[in-house]
């Protein structure tokens, strides 16, 4: 078996890359067969042994895996190794009920670090850089994900995590940060706070921003670049596929290389789920080829994108995906946190005082997103003491925060005040515009 260096792997020709993919896929199938869930699923399509997979094309026989499958098998139904081999877990935000959990063994983490190392290198980072990681450290993969790749590359890592803008500026200034990792909306927020916090652009040594975790347009990227006088690179990932460094832009900034030695890409028609040609927009379906503790085959990301036809000027052979142009489901991304309207409904419907109508409004406040939950309440409570209203609001805010991890604004309304649709109720009003 050929062993490639991280550098060689990025420039493999198609044939060598696909041979490596098949080899890795068989290894992952071995792991998947160790779980009752995949044993049954794979058995159903005649795959009882990794060698039953003759070519990469056979991947198409395998049924899709969805977020619901991960939730239904919570907590350990998809764990393919002994629990004592697990060294870390992460969980995805944005699910009702139980989270979707991913497990990593020691080698899984090393392989993921290999990808984050390559991604940082591809966009021009090196050991001279001071890297301030403003993504939240925790169950969310955004923080810890790039952290280890950055250390591997020898960058000076400041694990500042999310929020606390004043401290972010202090660190940026005092430690001469050259690279930051943040959501695009947080970059805009930082800029909007500069004057207020007495920071001038000339106080900073910033050269690059790695931006991801939420949809953003090319115009928004340019805006961030112009405001700060830096380069901004798009970074795509999802916890089910490890986290950041599924796809990353190189210095050419012409789409994100989806690291094909680590993931099999399919772009499928959103209705028929049939394969599309390069260049056509459809749902991205991914198979992780490098994680053995939590194998996930043909995962429906629900993200819409396309493969950019042709090759990249940088010479890397992994194909590139375009920025995400939408989702096939109703998931909202609010300041980088995934929220499903059903999570909000679940909380709202548990409140005995709730009336018949509610609405979810997302809008910009300055540069950040705000989530407003508008709820009609029964007439009895309205005529009661206003203290009861405050208490109800407080209870709702707490319950929503506990469920979706972000603090919403709750507005209570009299019955009949919220708009009523004649047809299907419009529960979500997203006023942010120009996200994709
Ligand atoms: P999570 O599993 O919580 O990390 O969320 C992953 C989801 O965030 C993806 O499926 C996308 O919908 C979204 N996402 C992550 N990175 C990007 C990006 N660069 N552009 C657009 N959406 C993104
Ligand atoms: Zn490139």
Task: Please say if the pLDDT value at position 436 is more than 70.
Answer: no
Paired strand residues for 209: 180, 232
pLDDT digits (tens, 9 = 90+) for 51-68: 999 999 999 999 999 999
Query: What rounded mean pLDDT belongs to the chain?
Result: 94
Does 332-435 carry CATH code 3.30.300.30? yes
Strand ranges of the sheet holding 256-258, from the earlier edge strand across to the other edge: 156-158, 130-133, 179-182, 208-212, 231-238, 243-249, 256-258, 320-321, 307-308
Closest alpha carbon to 136 in 213, 206, 197, 208: 213
Task: Please say if the pLDDT value at position 48 is more than 80.
Answer: yes
Query: What pLDDT, on a 0 to 100 scale, did the predictor assign at position 421?
Result: 72
What is the mean predicted confidence (pLDDT) over 201-224?
95
What is the mean predicted confidence (pLDDT) over 271-281?
97
Query: What pLDDT, on a 0 to 100 scale, did the predictor assign at position 424?
Result: 66
Question: Tokens for 297?
Answer: 């085959």
Which has more confidence, 250 or 380? 250
CA distance readout (Å), 111 to 105, 146, 315, 387: 10, 12, 22, 55
- Kindly indicate the confidence band of residue 96, based on its pLDDT and cuts at 50, 70 and 90: low
Q: Whose CA is nearest to atom 1 of ligand 1?
A: 238
Cα 142 to the center of its chain, rounded Å: 8
In the chain, domain spans: 1-327, 332-435
Paired strand residues for 266: 285
Please state which CATH number belongs to domain 1-327: 3.40.50.12780
Cβ of residue 141 lying under 6 Å from some atom of ligand 1: yes
pLDDT digits (tens, 9 = 90+) for 350-375: 888 888 789 999 999 988 999 999 99
Q: Which atom in ligand 1 lies closest to the alpha carbon of residue 141?
A: 4
pLDDT digits (tens, 9 = 90+) for 21-40: 999 999 999 999 999 999 99
338, 432, 436: residue to mutate for ligand 1 pocket, most atoms within 8 A of CB: 338
Paired strand residues for 86: 105
Cβ of residue 305 lying under 6 Å from some atom of ligand 1: no
- Kindly indicate the confidence band of residue 426, based on its pLDDT and cuts at 50, 70 and 90: confident
Query: What pLDDT, on a 0 to 100 scale, did the predictor assign at position 211?
Result: 97
Supply the angle between the helices 184-193 and 165-174 in degrees, to the nearest 10: 80
Task: Please say if the pLDDT value at position 381 is more than 90.
Answer: no
Cα 178 to the center of its chain, rounded Å: 24
Task: Please say if the pLDDT value at position 154 is more than 70.
Answer: yes
Which has more confidence, 306 or 350? 306
Query: What pLDDT, on a 0 to 100 scale, did the predictor assign at position 351?
Result: 86
Task: Please say if the pLDDT value at position 1 is more than 70.
Answer: no
Q: Which atom in ligand 1 lies closest to the alpha carbon of residue 142?
A: 4
CA distance readout (Å), 152 to 90, 110, 148, 156, 157: 21, 10, 6, 10, 10
Q: Whose CA is nearest to atom 14 of ligand 1?
A: 213
Query: What pLDDT, on a 0 to 100 scale, did the predictor assign at position 422?
Result: 66
> d(Cα 199, Cα 436) in Å, to the nearest integer?
30
71, 214, 283: residue to mutate for ligand 1 pocket, most atoms within 8 A of CB: 214
What's the 9 CA to ligand 1 centre distance in angstroms? Answer: 25
């Amino acid at each position: 078996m050929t062993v490639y260096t991280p550098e060689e792997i990025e420039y493999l020709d198609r044939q060598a890359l696909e041979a490596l993919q098949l080899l890795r896929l068989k290894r992952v199938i071995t792991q998947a067969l160790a779980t009752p869930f995949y044993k049954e699923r794979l058995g159903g399509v005649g795959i009882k042994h990794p060698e039953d997979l003759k070519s990469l094309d056979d991947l198409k026989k395998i049924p899709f895996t969805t977020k619901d499958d991960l939730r239904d098998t919570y907590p350990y139904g998809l764990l393919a190794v002994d629990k004592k081999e697990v060294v870390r877990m992460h969980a995805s935000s944005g699910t009702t009920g139980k989270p979707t959990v991913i497990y990593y063994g020691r080698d899984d983490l090393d392989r993921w670090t290999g990808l984050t190392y390559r991604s940082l290198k591809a966009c021009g980072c090196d050991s001279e850089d001071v890297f301030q990681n403003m993504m939240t450290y925790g169950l969310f993969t955004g923080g810890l994900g790039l952290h280890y790749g950055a250390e591997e590359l020898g960058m000076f890592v400041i694990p500042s995590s999310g929020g606390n803008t004043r401290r972010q500026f202090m660190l940026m200034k005092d430690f001469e940060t050259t690279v930051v990792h943040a959501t695009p909306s947080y970059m805009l927020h930082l800029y909007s706070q500069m004057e207020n916090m007495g920071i001038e652009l000339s106080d900073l040594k910033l050269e690059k921003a790695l931006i991801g975790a939420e949809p953003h347009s090319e115009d928004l990227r340019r805006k961030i670049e112009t405001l700060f006088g830096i380069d901004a690179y798009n970074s795509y990932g999802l916890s089910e596929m490890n986290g950041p460094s599924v796809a990353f832009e190189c210095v050419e900034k012409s789409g994100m290389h989806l690291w094909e030695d680590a993931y099999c890409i399919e772009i499928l028609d959103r209705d028929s789920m049939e394969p599309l040609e390069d260049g056509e927009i459809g749902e991205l379906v991914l198979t992780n080829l490098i994680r053995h503790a939590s194998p996930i085959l043909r995962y429906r990301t629900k993200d819409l994108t396309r493969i950019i036809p042709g090759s990249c000027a940088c010479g890397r052979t992994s194909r590139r995906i375009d920025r995400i142009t939408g989702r096939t489901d109703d998931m909202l991304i609010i300041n980088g946190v995934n929220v499903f309207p059903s999570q909000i409904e679940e909380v709202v419907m548990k409140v005995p005082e709730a009336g018949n109508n509610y609405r979810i409004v997302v809008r910009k406040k300055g540069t950040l997103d705000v989530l407003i939950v508008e709820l009609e309440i029964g007439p009895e409570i309205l005529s009661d003491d206003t203290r009861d209203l405050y208490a109800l609001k407080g209870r709702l805010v707490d319950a929503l925060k506990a469920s979706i991890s972000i603090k919403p604004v709750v507005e209570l309304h009299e019955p009949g005040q919220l708009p009523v649709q004649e047809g299907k109720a419009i529960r979500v009003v997203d006023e942010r515009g120009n996200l994709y």
